[in-house]
Amino acid sequence: MSQTPSGAKPEKEPSKVQPSAPVAAPHKAAPRHPPELLELVASLPALPGVYRYFDAQDQVLYVGKANSLKKRVSSYFQKDHGGTRIGHMVSKIVRMETTVVRSEAEALLLENNLIKSLKPKYNILFRDDKSYPYLKMTRGVALKAEEADKAAQQPASQGGLVSNSNNLSPSPQQVPRVVYYRGAVDKRHDYFGPYPSVWAVREAIQLLQKVFRLRTCEDTVFNNRTRPCLLYQIKRCSGPCVGLISVPDYQRDVDSAMRLLRGETQEVMASIEARMMAHADRLEFEQAAELRNQMSALSKVLHSQAMDTVGDQDVDILAVKVQGGKACVNLAMVRGGRHLGDRPYFPVHVDDAEPTEVLEAFLSQHYLDVPVPPALITSHAVDKELLQALTDQTGVKITAVHNPREQRRVWLEMAQQNADIQLARLLAEEGSQQARTRALVDALDLAPEDLEQFRVECFDISHTSGESTQASCVVFHHHKMQSAEYRRYNIEGITGGDDYAAMRQVLVRRYSKLAEAVRAGEGKLPDLVLIDGGKGQVSMAREVFESLGLDLSRIVGVEKGEGRKVGLEELVFADGREKVYLGRDSAALMLVAQIRDEAHRFAITGMRAARAKVRVGGSKLEEIAGVGPKKRAKLLQRFGGARGVGDASVQDLCTVEGISQELAQTIYNALR
């Protein structure tokens, strides 16, 4: 990853840098840092680059960039930063690595790639595991010349039904389909977006259905239609599956829809109007009336959505709010001239950061994975070097305005208001969740060293009449559920339906190695282990903990109350204490129920997925060479199960991503 500017000597590895004569370290830093580190700081070149700080456990603390490594890094060790975020970070530095690059813009890009991958403790981080949704338009396959001639000679439909068995009926590959999509982009199709939410994509699809009547059905449904579906009856589809519209006419509607999505609104209206007048001149009044209705529908949609975009096509509006050690960046998106809505982001490790610092961190990290529009509207001024770096990275000239006028000002004010509301909601929720954590600690008479570090692990068992038994472990930490730390365990070697044996197995698997690590001083047990069950399950947990030499007071069972009613649960203890009922309105019981319900949900979803895999009849697919787990899953999902895969033609199988013509033929032959 390291790069060296032309004319400069290659940089040495940080751990191997040994200057011939040690340089005196700054006076204030001398008592706190290893001499090797201070020697390295003194020997740094005055060149642009990226630096990385590490603590005693070799965990990355901070990643930064500099126009001059020597000046920037030295400033950390020459100043007293007090009790700030930077001060805490500097006190923990024991090692450093640097990378010399050719320019500050290059350093900026490298810095944010490292921040994304390393997730340093003291950098402002934007974490969002959810990919953006897109609107996908599949590309139709052009008709052969003789087929096109036949289609042109076919009389326009007068409302009668045409059987799909007719040789003139198009295949689904000839009729593009509009669909919601999330995932990797395939160059064989057209994608519009990204959109800030699923709702925004659904709304766009409904718009295209109302105006252009494009199909949304699966190819398998399209192939097997002999009569038009309900969407045709309610004028949301033009019925290409049964030949109620010719392929060229349908493709013309697709082209208009794509132009509308790109923001070419007036051009689309003019094109439809020209076609309408041409039909009228030829006395084709029915076709002209259809186009008139299309124009009317489009006009209503545009009017209802207030598309006053002052010429803007693709714009992102970014507003930042910082308060109480938390921050919110609200991103509003305009695509194709339409305001699609907004999406809030809440970075971590903000502490005493300024709004501009938060905004620039967002821009640097967010647009590494998401296409950046050419125009940005921001609540604070953005460094020009950052914009130039984004321009160099994307190849698109990017401009930013932080003091907009007219419609753009309205957009920014809306985004700012949403940022204020979202941050206020976050602070209120966190305050409530912290109160629940404190209530639970007090109710159970626990004494954690730090309430912020209070950790709960909860276990649940799920199966269907003994089939596909799974155990789940969910984690509550830092006052919220930590989904990245959830674990599922496939339970094997027990009698079907034996929940006690299943609980024993999962607890042994979870805590046997951890117990050894704790005794070696290298691990830490959770403060509380919740078991979804009463005395029987708690007794089993007690036996496991006793065999491992662990503290029994950490185990608490959640026993369902009378009639299994919510709010009547009682807590059962493994160390011999009497059962406790916290009360229906107890904040502690609310937190326990939240964690228990999440464990139950996580276990059930895993069990159902495992059961479906067994029942779906995918064993034949597993025996086919070249069909691995991912392709098998795509096939089963695409055709609704093994039976659907078996009924699919070679052409249908080829429509699945990753399935070639040769592999499709192999699958077709193997299942028959």
The secondary structure of 608-628, three-state, reads HHHHHHHHCCCHHHHCCCCCC
Rounded Cα distance, 236 and 206, in Å: 8
Number of domains within the chain: 5
Are residues 648 and 672 in contact, defined by beta-carbon separation less than 8 angstroms?
Answer: no
Rounded Cα distance, 176 and 340, in Å: 24
Amino acid (1-letter code) at residue 561? G
Q: What is the pLDDT of residue 297?
A: 63
CA-closest candidate to residue 40, choices 28, 56, 51: 51
The sign of the dihedral angle between the CA atoms of 540, 541, 546, 547 is positive
Rounded Cα distance, 476 and 498, in Å: 27
Shared domain for 480 and 551, answered yes or no, is: yes
Shared domain for 275 and 326, answered yes or no, is: no
Shared domain for 462 and 608, answered yes or no, is: yes
Helix axes 198-212, 247-261, angle to 10 degrees: 140
Indicate the pTM of the whole model: 0.57
Are residues 476 and 588 in contact, defined by beta-carbon separation less than 8 angstroms?
Answer: no
Residue at 228 is within a domain: yes
CATH number of the CATH domain containing 334: 3.30.420.340
Residue at 31 is within a domain: yes
Q: What is the pLDDT of residue 203?
A: 80
Q: What is the pLDDT of residue 130?
A: 60
Alpha helices in 487-623 (DSSP H): 499-519, 535-548, 587-615, 619-622
Q: What is the pLDDT of residue 545?
A: 92
Shared domain for 628 and 594, answered yes or no, is: no
- 260: helix, coil or strand? helix
Residue at 123 is within a domain: no
For 318, other C-beta atoms within 10 Å of its C-beta total 26
Q: What is the pLDDT of residue 300?
A: 56
Q: What is the pLDDT of residue 504?
A: 92
Identify the helix (H) or strand (E) that includes residue 49.
Answer: strand 49-54
Q: What is the pLDDT of residue 455?
A: 92
Shared domain for 295 and 369, answered yes or no, is: no
Q: Considering 275, 304, 333, which residue would you say is the last residue of a domain?
A: 304
How is 331-360 classified by DSSP, letter by letter?
A: EEEEETTEEEEEEEE--BS-TT--HHHHHH
Residue at 120 is within a domain: no
Residue at 149 is within a domain: no
CATH number of the CATH domain containing 59: 3.40.1440.10
Residue at 379 is within a domain: yes
Shared domain for 209 and 285, answered yes or no, is: yes
Distances (CA, A) of 334 to 309, 340, 386: 9, 6, 22
Q: Please list the ranges in the chain whose pLDDT falls under 70.
A: 1-32, 81-84, 127-131, 140-169, 263, 265-266, 294-312, 465-467, 563-564, 566-567, 607, 609-620, 640-641
Q: What is the pLDDT of residue 146?
A: 46
Shared domain for 183 and 230, answered yes or no, is: yes
Q: What is the pLDDT of residue 83?
A: 65
Q: What is the pLDDT of residue 145?
A: 41
Rounded Cα distance, 91 and 82, in Å: 10
Shared domain for 470 and 559, answered yes or no, is: yes
Domain that residue 550 falls in: 451-613
Are residues 111 and 63 in contact, defined by beta-carbon separation less than 8 angstroms?
Answer: yes
Q: Considering 272, 304, 336, which residue would you say is the last residue of a domain?
A: 304
Shared domain for 214 and 274, answered yes or no, is: yes
Distances (CA, A) of 619 to 136, 624, 628, 642, 671: 32, 9, 12, 9, 11
Q: What is the pLDDT of residue 595?
A: 92
Residue at 437 is within a domain: no
Q: What is the pLDDT of residue 377?
A: 92
Shared domain for 166 and 280, answered yes or no, is: yes
Rounded Cα distance, 181 and 200, in Å: 12
Q: What is the pLDDT of residue 508?
A: 93
Shared domain for 271 and 242, answered yes or no, is: yes
CATH number of the CATH domain containing 646: 1.10.150.20
Quick one: three-class SS letters along 548-571?
HCCCHHHEEEEECCHHHCCCCCEE
For 163, other C-beta atoms within 10 Å of its C-beta total 11
The alpha-carbon radius of gyration of the chain (Å, integer) is: 31
Shared domain for 481 and 413, answered yes or no, is: no
Residue at 369 is within a domain: yes
